Amino acid sequence: MKHITVLGAAIALAGSLVAGSASAADITGAGATFPAPVYQAWAVAYKEKTGTGLNYQSIGSGAGQTQIFNRTVDFGASDAPVATDKLAQQKLLQFPAVIGSVVPIVNLDGIESNKLKLTGPVLADIYLGKIKKWNDKAIADLNPGVSLPDQGIVPTYRSDGSGTTYVFATYLADVSPEWKSKVGAATSVSWPAGAGGKGNEGVAGTVKNTKGAIGYVEYIYASANSLVTVQLQNKAGKFVSPTVPAFQAAAANADWANAKDFAASMINTPGDTTWPITSATFILLPKEPKSAAQAKEVMNFFDWAFKNGDSIAEKLHYIPLPTDVADRVRAAWKSEIVADGKPVWSN
Amino acid sequence: MSATMTGLSGDGVQAVSIGAAKPVGRLADRVFVGLLWGCGIFVLVLLGLIIAMLFHGGLPAFRAFGLDFLWTATWNPVTENFGALVMIYGTIFSAIIAVVVALPLSFGIAFFLTEIAPPVLRRPIGVAVQLLAAVPSIIYGMWGFFIISPLMAAYVQPPLIEWLGPIPVIGDLFQGPALGGGMLTAGLIMAVMILPFITAMFVETLESIPPMLKESAYGVGATTFEVYKNISVPFGRTAMVGAIMLGLGRALGETMAVTFVIGNATRLSASLFAPGATIASTIANEFPEAAQGTLKLDSLLALGFILFVISFIVLALSRYLVRSNLKS
């Protein structure tokens, strides 16, 4: 009998704890892993300010989409933009939250960071398995004065489905017709050559372990771990190093005005200083929310993040949305998110 | 939940302590037997539901690709063209490598422990082997990725590629760049992981050999090796088959450690050093980004179903082999 009482008390206590941690005002989100650090950092600062918490599960874009399709969370998050017809069918509004970049990394004796120059087509040929040696003429011609070893190239990629792969493969498809027809772009693709590692750390580790390897990771990961990055030729024909100003240039030069569902391409955007592999990560919000109050809370959160979250994002090496894009997002909230015939967002 | 607790901790105990109270005892007994039935049926229902769920989920993939799904070597998420051959091959090939490596090693350990080891060493080595089983899969993965792969890339693969690569036929197994990871590395890591299970079964078998048999063998002047060859191995043959199958079963489903070292390429290659993929590693890699209602998710569930079928066949085969061995 005593045991049962204790058990009952324990269950009651556990129940109250669960209820306490997820009070009605807290918002829930699930999806992409790439922006998870900045969402979580924003959430901490936002909770201090307003008392409203955010419970964000970084379970991957695909799983995040599934959760918002089933309306088990207040918002979903996806690295790759969702197709327009799918958004319409699921009655979802898509908007960008923050911007990130993908950078190639290499492991070559005597090559320091941002010393090696590559072009998009050369990078695509490396990943197609057509350029097999580092002293190949195509690479040597781009790098006069750099001594390149007679070493096999090992292309390394993300083995897990990821937004990073989506962005990188989209870039390769943009610069190489052969890549576009043979491989294409998605969160995971059928790689013609090389080996895969799980996650950014898996790619970085494989590159580190293998002499002559080349890989690609998110910039935030490369900068935090001081990996050896390369220069890439952008659309204007200039070689640029992966730096925050180069990413900001990409965001500023994207065609936001004509982008459907905010899926503006930041791949190979024009501009002399633009880094060519940049992309936004997206939020998915129901257009006819079950609970208008919860939807409002989500919009309040991102409104606050767009206004006050830039320094947090930059500290974590993300690129904040340009102000005019944030304004476009607010306008979309006002016109698209409706409950009982009235717009939920009125600020 | 609370009803279950009452049944177990309340009446059950009472029935034992107050044996005289017959009517209560009989009721308690009936409840107890019912609970046991429940436990047994629960396993069946659970297993049935899992199989049904995997099959139902994978059905769209089987419908879309037909039986070709089993022997198509493409896995292309862009064109949504999926086939399981690379993963089936990788799963079976890496598991066989693991068993081939682990088998002689664990038989050696088991024989050493039961026959040769001085009692002072027996316990530490036995505990060490058991502890290998307690190391989490992800730790093996990290060990394989950070320690074993670089060693393989530096010292094992280059000479093998150079020496054995040019030989016809056998050379096909030793091709490609020395990446460190790949099929062989995955098999080696798994060999260490299944070692404790196979060893434990061997030890048990060897201990069950009637001492008289071995003593008489030693008595007529047999050497340790002769006892090993003529007594222990024949006697343990049945258990050996069981142990192989148990190890194989574990290796087939191993996920985390394999994902770290196998190289994760959905291309078919005969080379031991080429990156490959297993069913479990593919599911682990692709599942988070497979959205609901896509052929990709269906295909992953179909892969899960195939893994289930492979494991079932291995289990059934081991039962059959053990039984036919027992008869003879």
CA distance B214 to B183: 40
Residue A42: pLDDT band (50, 70, 90) is very high
The residue among B251, B277, B253, B260 whose CA lies nearest residue B148 is B260
Closest in B2, B76, B150 to A190, CB measured: B76
Q: How far is CA A343 from the centre of its chain?
A: 29
Average pLDDT of the segment spanning A10-38: 66
CB B13, CB B40: distance < 8 Å: no
Question: Chain A within 8 Å of B71 (Cβ-Cβ)?
Answer: no
**DSSP string for A52-88:** --EEEEE--HHHHHHHHHTT-SSEEEESSPPPHHHHH
Residue A68, pLDDT above cutoff 80? yes
Length of chain A: 347
Task: Point out which residues pair with A76 in neighbouring strands.
Answer: A30, A284
CA B174 – CA B165 distance, rounded (Å): 5
Which of A126, A206, A207 has the highest number of chain B CBs within 10 A, making it the mutation to test binding with B?
A206
User: Of A284, A239, A245, nearest to A261 (Cα)?
Assistant: A284
- B276 and B93 in contact (C-beta within 8 Å)? yes
CA dihedral B235→B240→B241→B243, nearest 10 degrees, is: 150
Q: Phi-psi bin for B80: left (phi > 0), alpha (psi -120 to 50), beta?
A: left
Report the alpha-carbon distance of residue B293 to residue B136 in Å, rounded: 33
CA distances from A64 to A54, A81, A199 (A): 15, 12, 17
Q: What angle do CA B77, B80, B81 make, to 5 degrees?
A: 100
**Residue in B289, B298, B299 to test binding to A, most A beta-carbons within 10 Å:** B289
Q: Which of B180, B267, B297 sits opposite A209 (nearest CB)?
A: B180
- CB-CB under 8 Å, B146 with A190: no
Chain A residues whose C-beta is within 8 A of a chain B C-beta are: 1, 3-4, 7-8, 33, 59-63, 65-66, 69-70, 152, 154, 159-162, 183-191, 194-198, 202, 205-206, 209-210, 212
Which residues from chain B sit within 8 angstroms of residue A152, using beta carbons?
Answer: 177
Whether B179 and A190 lie within 8 Å, measured CB to CB: no
- Residue among B74, B145, B265 whose CB faces A191 most closely: B265
Q: What are B129's strand-pairing partners? A: none
Strand pairing report for A213-218 and A92-106? antiparallel
- List the A213-218 sheet strands across, edge first: A54-58, A27-31, A75-78, A278-286, A92-106, A213-218, A154-158, A195-197
Of the residues A1, A126, A165, A190, the best mutation for testing chain B's interface (the one with the most B CB atoms within 10 Å of its CB) is: A190
- CA-based nearest residue in chain A for residue B264: A196
pLDDT at B7 exceeding the cut of 70: no
Concatenate the DSSP letters of all residues of B121-143 into one string.
Answer: HHHHHHHHHHHHHHS-HHHHHHH
The answer on pLDDT for B9 being more than 80 is no
Would you say B276 and A159 are in contact if contact means Cβ atoms under 8 Å apart?
A: no
DSSP H or E stretch at residue B216: helix B211-219
Topology (CATH) of A102-254: D-Maltodextrin-Binding Protein; domain 2 (3.40.190)
SS3 of residue A229 by DSSP: strand
Cβ atoms of A75 and A68 within 8 Å: the answer is: yes
C-alpha to C-alpha distance for B244 and B224, rounded to whole angstroms: 24
Residue B121 has pLDDT above 70, yes or no: yes
| Collapsed DSSP state (helix, strand, coil) of residue A239 | strand
Confidence check: pLDDT of B226 > 70: yes
In this complex, the residue of A152, A154, A205 whose CB is nearest that of residue B145 is: A205
> Which of B267, A196, A316 has the alpha carbon at shortest distance from A204?
A196
What CA–CA distance (Å, rounded) separates B321 from B328? 11
Q: pLDDT tens, A253-306?
A: 888 888 888 888 889 999 999 999 999 999 999 998 888 889 999 999 999 999
* Per-state percent for chain A, helix, strand, coil, to nearest 5: 45, 20, 35
Planar angle of CA A337, A340, A345, nearest 5 degrees:
35
Same fold, A7-100+280-343 and A102-254: yes
Compute the average pLDDT of residues B315-323: 81
CA distance B6 to chain A (A): 8
Contacts of A195 in chain B (CB under 8 A): 179, 181-182, 263-265, 275
Q: How far is A271 from chain B (nearest CA, A)?
A: 30
Q: Distances in Å between the alpha carbon of B120 and those of A245, B109, B115?
A: 67, 15, 13
Q: Which residue has the tokens 């037997």?
A: B33
What's the alpha-carbon Rg for chain B, to the nearest Å? 25
Q: Among A46-55, A189-198, A241-250, A337-346, which stretch is predicted with the lowest mean pLDDT? A: A337-346
Confidence of residue B168 (pLDDT cuts 50, 70, 90): confident
Residue of B nearest to A211 (CA): B179
Locate the chain A residue with the closest alpha carbon to B149: A209
Q: Indicate yes or no: CB of B290 within 8 angstroms of CB of A160.
A: no
Out of A61, A152, A197, name the one closest to residue B177 (CB).
A152
Q: Where are the domains of chain A?
A: 7-100+280-343, 102-254
CA distance A130 to chain B (A): 15
Least Cα separation, residue B315 to chain A (angstroms): 30
pLDDT bracket for residue B140 (50, 70, 90): very high
pLDDT of residue B2: 39
Check: CB of residue A277 under 8 Å from CB of residue A264: no
| pLDDT tens for each residue of A298-346 | 999 999 999 999 999 988 888 899 998 999 999 999 988 888 888 888 7
Q: Residue B36 corresponds to which amino acid?
A: L
Q: Does the beta carbon of B260 lie under 8 angstroms from any beta carbon of chain A? A: yes
Yes or no: say if B271 and B83 are a contact pair by the CB < 8 Å rule. Answer: no
Residue A271: phi, psi to the nearest 5? Answer: 115, 140
Q: What is the C-alpha to C-alpha distance for residues A73 and A55, in angstroms, rounded to an integer?
A: 10
Token output for A6: 């204790």
Interface contact flag, B179 A162, Cβ < 8 Å: no
CB neighbour list of residue B229: distance below 8 Å, 6 or more residues apart: none
| Residue B246 to chain A, least CA–CA distance (Å) | 28
Please report the ipTM that was assigned to this predicted complex: 0.76
Give buried/exposed letters for B122-153 (b at 16+ CB in 10 A, else e). eeeebeebeebeeeebeebbbbbbeebbbebb
Sheet containing A231-233: order of strands: A117-118, A231-233, A239-240
User: Which one, of A137, A109, A108, lies nearest residue A214 by Cα?
Assistant: A108
At residue A213's C-alpha, the angle toward residues A211 and A216, to 5°, is 145
Cβ–Cβ gap A4/B5 under 8 Å? yes
A186-193 average pLDDT score: 90
Window 117-146 of B: residues touching A by CB (8 A cutoff) are 145-146
Q: What is the CATH number of domain B54-326?
A: 1.10.3720.10
Q: Is the pLDDT of residue A22 over 90?
A: no
d(CA B299, CA B305): 10
Residue A346, pLDDT score: 79
Q: Looking at residues A96-123, what average pLDDT do you find? A: 93
Mean pLDDT, all residues of chain B: 85
Q: Is the pLDDT of residue A19 over 80?
A: no
CB B189 within 8 A of CB B140: yes
Matching CATH number, A7-100+280-343, of 3.40.190.10, 3.30.70.360, 3.60.110.10, 3.40.50.300? 3.40.190.10
> Which positions in chain A touch B297 (Cβ < 8 Å)?
62
